[in-house]
């Protein structure tokens, strides 16, 4: 036991001595200088002195995270507009002086609220009746992939217009009735969706403010139960986002 304790003490002494030699004043100063230079390089990459215009160099590459809000509803059913969140990041490559191609990954919360479901039945006497259920709150979470063409029409102004293809994949879908059950409808609606995005944006320094409307064409319901609840509903969304553009090359 005494021999074991002595061995541990000797080992800790050697380790402490080695650390003292490694982290002497000279090495500590050098390490601190390297960390400082690394932070300065990162800052230079993220914070750029730019004056955006409508004309760029071919093969310029930008990346940009963005976040914002969306207003959505479900045309085809009588519901209220719903406020949701949008988060995205994109890579942009200029293929001409005023035209760029964007590839964007995006999350969006969509849906509608205040939706009522009407059931047409007959009573015991055979008289047609209508029973109303609701209101329902639809919450639809999508992961979207956007392939966009961005056009800068004016060389001296940082305004741009976008269009392309919006492809959505449903990751969560719920219809909750007020003071009632929360129904998972993910399997009852189509997993994929397509839209035509139409956007306009303005750049100031590295910031980009963009408004985009997504025009959807596909009916959501795929099962009979969903058709009873949602009828011919489809998505509809207007989004406003603020992005931070970083020039990589």
Question: What whole-number distance in Å separates Cα of residue 113 and Cα of residue 181?
Answer: 15
Question: What whole-number distance in Å separates Cα of residue 134 and Cα of residue 214?
Answer: 28
Model confidence at 4, in pLDDT bands (50, 70, 90)? very low
The reported pLDDT for the residue numbered 16 is 52
Matching residue, tokens 């849906």: 111
CB 175 within 8 A of CB 188: no
Question: What whole-number distance in Å separates Cα of residue 195 and Cα of residue 164?
Answer: 9
Residue 218 has pLDDT above 60, yes or no: yes
- CB-hemisphere CA count at 13 Å for 2? 0
Query: Which token pair is 1?
Result: 């036991």
Question: What whole-number distance in Å separates Cα of residue 35 and Cα of residue 26?
Answer: 14
Question: What whole-number distance in Å separates Cα of residue 229 and Cα of residue 116?
Answer: 9
Question: What whole-number distance in Å separates Cα of residue 91 and Cα of residue 100?
Answer: 10
Per-residue pLDDT tens over the stretch 70-124: 999 999 888 999 999 999 999 999 999 999 999 999 999 999 999 988 766 666 6
The reported pLDDT for the residue numbered 249 is 87
- Give the list of residues 6+ apart from residue 48 with CB closer than 8 angstroms, or none: 206, 246, 247
> Whole-prediction pTM value?
0.80
The reported pLDDT for the residue numbered 11 is 45
Considering only residues 45 and 162, tell me which one the structure prediction assigns the higher pLDDT: 162
Per-residue pLDDT tens over the stretch 39-70: 665 655 678 878 899 999 999 999 999 999 99
The reported pLDDT for the residue numbered 93 is 98
Residue 25 has pLDDT above 80, yes or no: no
- Give the list of residues 6+ apart from residue 149 with CB closer than 8 angstroms, or none: 99, 100, 101, 102, 162, 163, 164
Question: In sequence order, what are the beta bridge partners of 195?
Answer: 166, 216
Residue 15 has pLDDT above 50, yes or no: no
The reported pLDDT for the residue numbered 14 is 46
């Amino acid at each position: 036991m005494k021999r074991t304790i002595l061995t541990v003490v000797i080992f800790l002494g050697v380790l402490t001595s080695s650390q003292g030699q490694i982290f002497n004043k000279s090495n500590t100063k050098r390490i601190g200088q390297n960390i400082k230079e690394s932070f300065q390089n990162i800052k230079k990459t993220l914070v750029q002195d730019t004056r955006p215009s409508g004309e760029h160099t071919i093969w310029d590459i930008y990346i940009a995270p963005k976040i914002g809000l969306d207003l959505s509803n479900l045309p085809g059913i009588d519901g209220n507009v719903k406020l949701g969140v949008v988060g995205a990041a994109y890579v942009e490559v200029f293929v001409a002086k005023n035209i760029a191609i964007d590839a964007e990954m995006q999350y969006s919360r969509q849906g509608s609220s205040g939706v009522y479901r009407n059931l047409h039945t007959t009573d015991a006497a055979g008289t047609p009746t209508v029973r109303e259920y609701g209101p329902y709150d639809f919450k639809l979470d999508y992961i979207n992939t956007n392939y966009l063409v961005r056009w800068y029409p004016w060389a001296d102004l940082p305004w741009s217009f976008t269009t392309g293809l919006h492809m959505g994949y449903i990751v969560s879908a719920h219809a909750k009735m007020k003071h009632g059950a929360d129904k998972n409808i993910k399997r009852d609606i189509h997993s994929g969706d397509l839209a035509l995005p139409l956007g306009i944006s303005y750049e100031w320094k590295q910031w980009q403010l963009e408004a985009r409307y997504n025009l959807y064409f596909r009916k959501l319901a795929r099962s009979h139960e969903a058709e009873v609840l949602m009828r011919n509903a489809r998505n509809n969304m207007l989004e406003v986002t603020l992005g931070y553009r970083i020039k990589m090359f």
